[in-house]
A = this chain, B = another copy of it.
Amino acid sequence: MDAILETPALLLDEARMQRNIARMQGRMDQLGVAFRPHVKTSKCLEVARRQLAAGARGITVSTLKEAEEFFGAGIDDILYAVAIVPNKLNHALKLIRAGLRLTLLVESSAMAQQLAAHGAEHGVCYEALIEIDTDGHRSGVKPDDPVLLEIAAALNGGAHLKGVMTHAGASYDLNTPEALAAMAEQERARCVAAATRLRAAGHACPVVSVGSTPTALSAAHLEDVTEVRAGVYVFFDMVMVDVGVCRVDEVAISVLCTVIGHQQDKGWIITDGGWMAMSRDLGHDHHGYGMVCDADGQPLPELGFGKANQEHGVLQWRGAPDVSVAQRYPVGTSLRVLPNHACATAAQHGQYHVIPQNGGDWQVWPRFSGW
């Protein structure tokens, strides 16, 4: 492998990814909801195409850059799932005028008013969801907050209330099936409650959008939900292993690196995969900068990854420090590291090197970044 690729390099196991896609889509089909994958994880057209081919309806993005890139490739139903602010309105307007069915997100009366005014001024009607806070984790309006109805009322003229959306990010901190199922039900019930309140006030509110990878894989039912969003499931990572929604051998991306030196007296193996290749994301702080594996992707529990500089990884051999660390892992040895957080690690790279199946050739799938 090291004769082919310069390291560090981001590897993608396409077979694992396809199984992850099939598993999530199959679950959504069973639960009877539309699935709108969050493409912030991959930022890669080849990946999104496979999610859509499996049955996804539209995509979710975290930046207008993603909206622009994927729309440019022909995907025309996109939810931008970060609350809109004034400096992005002209960009959103440009995309909508070019034909994109773009749904925006609001979580304040002030912004709902500005959105409606901007739409009226420019002769468009923005489709908007209201962000609902169902877990106290981050953003959004609580289902029983009076502000909910104020926002809905402000969305008229140049903006139209399409529904409600929530993301139970707090699920990332759970790790039992019972707690995850309870969080999934809380996410569902509170988002549905917000929709019910809006409908009682006379708003149509056709969309009820929920989701995170852990809750999507843990929900017992999704009654009254119309769509689910999830992102990281497509690759999975060590955080998702810790949460308990995947196995280590389902993690589909890894960083290939090479041993460049040793500090034998400390039992250290130095590699060319530092934090620039892994990101600084330590996940739940259980695996250092990631889980170290051999060149074939088999975990090597004897190696920790507790320290990283920009282009240097420092692996700690858990055995007694002596000369044998350099004998076991000589300079030039290829290793692979499973990431803590797939979204963060993939973002450090400009392409996926897709591992050949059945003796085929390596493919390179580009990914983009930025705003």
Contacts and interface: CB of A to CB of B under 8 A. Distances in A.
A312 interface: yes
Given A270-B138, A370-B349, A312 B82 contact: yes
Interface string A127-148: 0000101000011100000000
Contact of A331 (B5, B110, B263, B281): B110
B312 A276 contact: no
Interface stretch (A84-92, A177-185, A196-204): A84-92
Contact of A369 (B2, B258, B261, B350): B350
Contact of A311 (B63, B169, B314): B63
A229 interface: no
A370 B331 CA distance: 23
Contacts of A133: 263
Contact of A371 (B9, B111, B282, B314): B9
A6 interface: yes
Interface string A265-288: 000001010011101111000000
A210 B344 CA distance: 33
A9 B82 CA distance: 16
Given A62-B311, A331-B110, A87 B5 contact: yes
Contact of A344 (B110, B262, B275): B275
A310 interface: yes
B344 A261 contact: no
Contacts of A84: 260
Contacts of A82: 260, 272, 311-312
A87 B310 contact: no
- Interface band, chain A: 35 or more
A309 interface: yes
A108 interface: yes
Interface string A211-250: 0000000000000000000000000000000000000000
Contact of A86 (B309, B332, B344): B332
Contacts of A262: 108
Contacts of A53: none
Given A138-B312, A310-B343, 11 more contacts: A2-B85, A7-B371, A40-B311, A82-B312, A85-B332, A86-B258, A108-B331, A111-B261, A138-B314, A139-B261, A139-B312
Interface of A: 2-3, 5-9, 40, 62-64, 82-88, 91, 107-108, 110-111, 114, 131, 133, 138-140, 169, 258-263, 270, 272, 275-277, 279-282, 309-312, 314, 330-332, 343-344, 347-351, 369-371
23 contacts: A3-B87, A5-B87, A6-B64, A6-B87, A6-B91, A7-B88, A9-B371, A40-B310, A82-B272, A82-B311, A83-B260, A85-B259, A85-B331, A107-B260, A110-B330, A138-B314, A139-B260, A139-B261, A169-B309, A277-B371, A280-B280, A349-B370, A350-B369
